[in-house]
Amino acid sequence: MLRFGLRAARRYVAASVCVVMLAAIGTVAPSHGTALEPSAPLEPVSLANPPLLLDDGDAASLRQAINQSLTWLRGQPQEQRLYFGTRVVTVAEQMRLLRRMLDLLSDDPSADVLEARVNAEFELLKSVGDKGRMIVTGYHEPIIDAAESKSAEYYVPIYGVPRDLVTGRRGAYLTRAEIEQGRLGDRAKPIAWARDPIDVFFLEIEGSGTLRFPGNRELRIGYGATNGRPYRSIAWLLIQEGKITPEAMSMRALREWLNEHPEERQRVLHHNESFVFFRHSSSAPVGSLGVPLTPGRSIATDPQVFPRGSLAFIRSMRPFTLPNGQIGWKPVTRFVLSQDAGGAIRGPGRVDVFWGRGPEAALAASDMKELGELYVVVPKTTRVAEPSLGTAPAVTGMPARYVKP
């Protein structure tokens, strides 16, 4: 996630919506659930009034993302049922849909040709969020300066997983405050040392990132484990204390407040007892499917509503930097794949777009909080779901990146 990025342009989002989203910057361990049970908030799209499906991205990245979903689906039981509201699609049928989409992309068609092909071969279901609204945010792979050894400049440890940590146990390990007070001892070795505790805190929120050492050597790290303590949102804390209004809250606003109030920084950060430990990573950021994420094509969604690996089309806005340094906004209209999830990505009204790395990706992660629409692509031959007695396993323990204040 969708990790919910903070959008600088809050012009569309009511304060109450912001508050709901902010409550979530949490950190939890990746979960790999199975079949999903029926859910209601996906509605068929009228063939008489179909949405525009003009893809503004490149075909290569879309093919890459589709192939990542196919990689995951190949490891699932072919008869397993995926629930798109009241529509049922088996894993085998979903794989056929994605393979057919690859066929439609084989000649790198123009946006209008691809739109016509998709409308001719598939059906669409629209996600219906709270009061019909979909909030779209962004997340990214952060890059932070680091050193291999502790010094006066680089003094903030980025810890590997403690050798005595029992994963899955909640409330049993040291809190954030206790860890930062040195209670870990030699049970966990720092992977590296950073300059800024705020950078490391937001690295935990994203769940993965790149460390850049002197000489421009880079090391990717990813989520290793958490201390099992419940996540408590520092954004919600500052809203409750009247430090930042709900309308003004964003990742950018949160970071700026922490930088401007160093005397309160430790108190605020320690409010969140949850702590993330990292591991070395040899690949690009990996989502909850265990496959690499594709910038601009992978999204984080609630797997209780959107089956893992599914194809969708998103319409929203994203920020970009103008030549004069000002921030502008442009439409985002493209096919995307549900390949990630998060503890704060809940319901049909939330989606988080992964933007990769670099300044523009960081901008989208910090400022993007826009209204949008999400249409799920399903086969034309579908059937009504049978009544179910169970519910899908809750997505818990996901890196907090999926929830931005």
pLDDT, tens digit (0-9, with 9 covering 90-100), for 117-149:
999 999 999 998 766 688 999 999 999 999 999
320 with 205, same domain?
no
Measured between alpha carbons, how far is 296 from 304 in angstroms, rounded to an integer? 22
123 with 149, same domain?
no
343 with 377, same domain?
yes
The reply to whether 239 falls in a domain is no
Nearest in space to 246 (alpha carbons), one of 369, 328, 348: 369
Whether the per-residue pLDDT at 35 is higher than 60: the answer is no
Q: How many CB atoms lie within 10 A of CB 15?
A: 14
Measured between alpha carbons, how far is 205 from 144 in angstroms, rounded to an integer? 14
* Domain closes at, from 280, 300, 315: 280
Whether the per-residue pLDDT at 324 is higher than 60: the answer is yes
User: How many Cα atoms occupy the beta-carbon half-sphere of 11 within 13 Å?
Assistant: 3
100 with 153, same domain?
no
Whether the per-residue pLDDT at 189 is higher than 90: the answer is yes
Lowest mean pLDDT among 1-10, 139-148, 180-189, 266-275: 1-10
The CATH number assigned to the domain holding 302 equals: 2.40.40.10
276 with 162, same domain?
yes
> In what order do the strands lie in the sheet containing 276-280?
156-159, 190-194, 143-147, 208-213, 217-226, 276-280
The one-letter amino acid at 39: S
pLDDT tens digits for range 229-243: 988 999 999 999 999
Q: How many CB atoms lie within 10 A of CB 354?
A: 30
* Domain closes at, from 280, 308, 342: 280
Q: How many CB atoms lie within 10 A of CB 77?
A: 11
203 with 120, same domain?
no
The one-letter amino acid at 188: A
The reply to whether 161 falls in a domain is yes
Measured between alpha carbons, how far is 16 from 239 in angstroms, rounded to an integer? 12
44 with 167, same domain?
no
CB 94 within 8 A of CB 333: no
Beta strands 383-384; 87-90: pairing state: antiparallel
Measured between alpha carbons, how far is 290 from 292 in angstroms, rounded to an integer? 7
> In what order do the strands lie in the sheet containing 81-84?
81-84, 87-90, 383-384
89 with 185, same domain?
no
Chain-centroid distance, C-alpha 81: 24
Measured between alpha carbons, how far is 47 from 122 in angstroms, rounded to an integer? 11
Mean pLDDT of 196-216: 92
84 with 148, same domain?
no
Range of the domain at 165: 143-232+272-280
CB 277 within 8 A of CB 165: yes
Measured between alpha carbons, how far is 205 from 136 in angstroms, rounded to an integer? 17
The reply to whether 397 falls in a domain is yes
The reply to whether 344 falls in a domain is yes
* Domain closes at, from 280, 310, 336: 280
Beta strands 134-139; 350-354: pairing state: parallel
122 with 159, same domain?
no
Measured between alpha carbons, how far is 57 from 315 in angstroms, rounded to an integer? 12
Alpha helices in 85-160 (DSSP H): 91-105, 111-121
Mean pLDDT of 317-327: 93
CA distances 347 to 118, 134, 303, Å, are: 26, 10, 9
The CATH number assigned to the domain holding 153 equals: 2.40.240.50
pLDDT tens digits for range 81-117: 999 988 999 999 999 999 999 999 999 999 999 999 9
CB 6 within 8 A of CB 352: no
CA distances 127 to 32, 43, 287, Å, are: 23, 7, 22
106 with 165, same domain?
no
The reply to whether 257 falls in a domain is no
Q: How many CB atoms lie within 10 A of CB 389?
A: 5
The reply to whether 305 falls in a domain is yes
Give the total number of structural domains in the chain: 2
Mean pLDDT of 70-82: 97
342 with 371, same domain?
yes
The reply to whether 5 falls in a domain is no
Identify the residue with better confidence: 350 or 250: 350
The reply to whether 9 falls in a domain is no
